[in-house]
A and B are shown apart, each in its own frame.
Chain A
Amino acid sequence: MREFAPDVRLLAGGTDLMVRLRSGRFRPNAVVDVKRVSGWSSQIVETEGVLRIGAGVTMTDLVADTKVQRHFPALVEAASVVGSIQIRNRATLAGNICNASPAADTAPPLLVCGAIVNIASAWDERRLPLHEFFLAPGKTALAPSELVESLDLPIPAEPVGSSFQRITRRRGVDLATVNLSCTLNAAGEVRMAFGAAAPIPLLVNGTVASLEEMTAQARPISDIRGGQDYRQAMLLVMARRALEIARGRLSR
């Protein structure tokens, strides 16, 4: 990477990168297939209250994993609607985050569960909370020499309910018009994150009584998938639905 920096691209599942390479919008000097790097992890490992998801883990792997199903149902719901089965068989969770689309479906459930990004370069390692990782559309806090090694998801110490909501123009293979995830604990505290509603996926905190104030922090734009007003209105509807489902899961 140092040899070709800064014009080097990492290739994971390729479902974002290949589309962009073929569109001719950029021509990196080098493409590095990270899947062949020794020590590259496609494992999901549980240790001391943390679920560590290796950068090689695909959406299909994630959806099938019983540990993820048990602790992070909202993440499973999000991963299972990414693209088609052909896409999910290649697309990695880390790639979804590194691509930094405002509409990335796994970003909201990862944000509400307090995910930490494990970042590595040839000479250093650091950890960054996911809500500090997204900077702008397509832009992350990664330096050109850095890559994401894994994501750490803290397993909730107290009971929480979580859920995921998404609106699309058609069912199957469409990016989200708006997506949203929330967690709720027994004290009525709510963590909520939404996508395609601001330049980056946004995390907000509040309570069951402050859904309107929370969703009002969105800054949606109008584009081909929906108008600004529509998105803003839908956020509140989706927040109520998400909370209802989270409440049901909390009491179970």
Chain B
Amino acid sequence: MKLTINGQEIARDVAQHHTLLEFLRDDIGLTGTKECCAEGECGACTVLLDGKAINSCLVLAAEADGSIVTTIEGLEKDGQLDPLQQAFIDKGAVQCGFCIPGMIMAAKYLLQENSNPTEAEIKQGLAGNLCRCAGYSRIIDAVREASGGRK
């Protein structure tokens, strides 16, 4: 199949039973995207597929043929972190870090759809992402900071 990952065109054979998550991690070596529950409950594997946040564990790699995929590795531009990544650092929103790539990709989609979300809208947008460290309040602070900071 052919697809574009983080701006780079890629053509590969893919096992028919492999998920997009397995393809990204094992075939392409982009291990920023995490595997956790593998059933759509935790959001650790969130990536953007044609601009939409999805759980890459629930999508077959073959379904992404011809698509544009953005992973956490694709957010940095010219050595500059994405404002969301910077806000997560500045707000101390990262504890063990395992959920963070998925959190940031879900937040990226949220801010793309709604550039100035309320706290309730941030919680709604991140409802599909679990943090086992329960660091939710700083995560929400970081997203608010990246959005320009409405209370």
Question: Which residues does A use to contact B, with CB under 8 Å?
Answer: 11, 14-15, 18-19, 22, 31, 33, 35, 60, 83-87, 89-90, 171-173
Contacts and interface: CB of A to CB of B under 8 A. Distances in A.
Given A18-B58, A19-B58, A86-B43, 4 more contacts: A18-B19, A84-B129, A86-B46, A173-B128
Given A19-B40, A85-B53, A90-B54, A172 B128 contact: yes
A31 B16 CA distance: 10
A90 B58 contact: yes
B99 to A, nearest CB: 13
Interface of B: 19, 38-41, 43, 46, 52-55, 57-60, 62-63, 106, 109-110, 123-125, 127-129
Given A15-B40, A18-B19, A35-B63, A85 B58 contact: no
B55 A33 contact: no
B127 A171 contact: yes
Most chain B CB within a 10 A radius of its CB, from A15, A84, A86, A172: A86
Contacts of A172: 123-124, 127-128
Contacts of B55: 86-87, 90
Nearest to B109: A85
6 contacts: A14-B58, A14-B59, A18-B59, A84-B127, A85-B124, A86-B55
A89 B40 CA distance: 12
A136 B125 CA distance: 34
A247 to B, nearest CB: 26
A172 B136 CA distance: 14
A19 B53 CA distance: 18
Nearest to A20: B39
Nearest to B38: A22
Nearest to A64: B113
Q: Which interface residue of B40, B52, B129 has the most chain A CB atoms within 10 A?
A: B40
Given A22-B39, A86-B54, A86-B106, A14 B63 contact: yes
A101 to B, nearest CB: 14
Given A85-B127, A87-B55, A173-B128, A33 B63 contact: yes
A33 B1 CA distance: 15
